[in-house]
Structure 1
């Protein structure tokens, strides 16, 4: 049997096992319940805690485990905005790149059969706008991020270009989401929900895709290729 088929089957089995066994714990309710205990542990073991969080986030992204949003919010609550921004930004991009590579070298046939129709749209976008298309997908979540990781692995896009564009494209959305997470962590009562900082944070979270879409449209209209210049 082809080695790629064997590794692909093992990889898929790991995704299913991890999703079934750990996905149930990655809920907002469980995160809030564990927040106090985790905060104490982090205060006593900051470097170790940051490393554990970082590699856990890489694994969750690489294996497309449901609940990454909750892990992001928990990181903001436990580590604060700037530390969590550093950890999540690099961990999510590294995990996405691992998923990208697994799709390219291990899961090509499975991804093609499951998401072939989506791949056609992405291939057309890559041919038309190149790396700019990936940047727009990262900035404006038209497709789920895990699906972008898998589908991009089937395109001619180089690994380094995928990494750097993903790092840059996901950064603004990550910052907005982490800011919302820091505010959510401060809610101790129902009155906290209507505080100006919380309302502003969640307004930014809701408006970000709209603003990002407008910015991308302006950038595309002002690019040399849109004016017929190469």
Structure 2
């Protein structure tokens, strides 16, 4: 009996610790199973722009809340589409408000991932890796502000991984939240600005697509592609500026290491 009670108690503790992770996995699985993630494309935005604008005009405050919530959930369950949502926010709400909503939604979603990683996965990972992770975590935490700003400004690693790793490495909560919020501002506003002038891009793409269909005849739907690359909307100057900010964020780390070598 005692053995059964211990097993029951252990299972209850396991579920108590892992239920946030299971919830995120379940929500992500539901979204994929229902095919909702397929709507996170610029093509769908172009095709439904008038109806979306009409809904926003009729229910403005609700639209702001829904957009922020959708963004947060997309980031929390690590479904690709954040860039499209940011561009869409700039297109539908204007570059400034769309950018702000995207930053808030992304920060909320990223924080959810951090909390899940810290509460549900960190103990398991430490038990598996032992001192190796501890040594790496200590080095990362020592300069967490600079490292996280760099990783947010320059997407060297996938966004979901940068959301997950700090929770596993024991980065302080507010350090994580502040660096996430500040670090995604330049890139977010860059994409929101790109989205602000998408009407002309959509019109040009639609005209090109219809012209292709007219020339191709009956088989045109297979050979003609209606597609817009989100990355193509950013100028080289913007990309260089964001990379430069990322490099600047690492200056304190480099300076500290140089001081240690000269001492």
Q: For this structure pair, what is the TM-score category when the shorter chain's length is used for normalisation?
A: 0.7 to 0.9
Cα distance, 1:10–1:216 mapped onto 2, change above 3 Å: closer
Task: Give the superposition deviation at 1:38.
Answer: 0.6
Q: What's 1:203 paired with?
A: 236
Of 182, 189, 206, which residue of structure 1 is paired with 2:204? 189
Contact kept, 8 Å, 1:61 with 1:95, in 2: the verdict is: yes
Q: What's 2:21 paired with?
A: 8
Task: Give the superposition deviation at 1:30.
Answer: 0.9
Cα distance, 1:122–1:169 mapped onto 2, change above 3 Å: farther
Q: For 1:129-140, list aligned pairs within 5 A.
A: 129-140=143-154
Cα distance per residue 1:90-141 (max 9 Å; x no partner)? 11111110111011112447888xxxxxx89973761552321111111111
Cα distance, 1:90–1:40 mapped onto 2, change above 3 Å: same
> Which secondary structure does the structure 2 equivalent of 1:164 belong to?
helix
Cα distance per residue 1:197-225 (max 9 Å; x no partner)? xx99433454345333443355544x456
In 2, Cα distance between equivalents of 1:217 and 1:11: 33
In 1, Cα distance between equivalents of 2:65 and 2:45: 18
Cα distance, 1:108–1:156 mapped onto 2, change above 3 Å: closer
Cα distance per residue 1:2-40 (max 9 Å; x no partner)? 222454334322222223422111112111111111112
The gaps in structure 1 that reach 5 residues or longer are: 113-118, 193-198
Task: Give the superposition deviation at 1:166.
Answer: 0.8
In 1, Cα distance between equivalents of 2:96 and 2:187: 14
Cα distance, 1:6–1:200 mapped onto 2, change above 3 Å: closer
The gaps in structure 2 that reach 5 residues or longer are: 1-10, 127-132, 208-231
> Which secondary structure does the structure 1 equivalent of 2:156 belong to?
coil
Q: What's 1:106 paired with?
A: 120
In 1, Cα distance between equivalents of 2:135 and 2:30: 30
Of 15, 26, 48, which residue of structure 2 is paired with 1:34? 48
In 1, Cα distance between equivalents of 2:119 and 2:199: 40
Bigger shift: residues 80-89 or 38-47: 38-47
TM-score (normalised: structure 1): 0.80
In 2, Cα distance between equivalents of 1:34 and 1:23: 16
Contact kept, 8 Å, 2:95 with 2:196, in 1: the verdict is: yes
TM-score (normalised: structure 2): 0.71
Count, aligned residues: 220
Q: What's 2:129 paired with?
A: none
Pair 1:19 & 2:32 matched: yes
In 1, Cα distance between equivalents of 2:167 and 2:180: 13
Of 91, 115, 121, which residue of structure 1 is paired with 2:105? 91
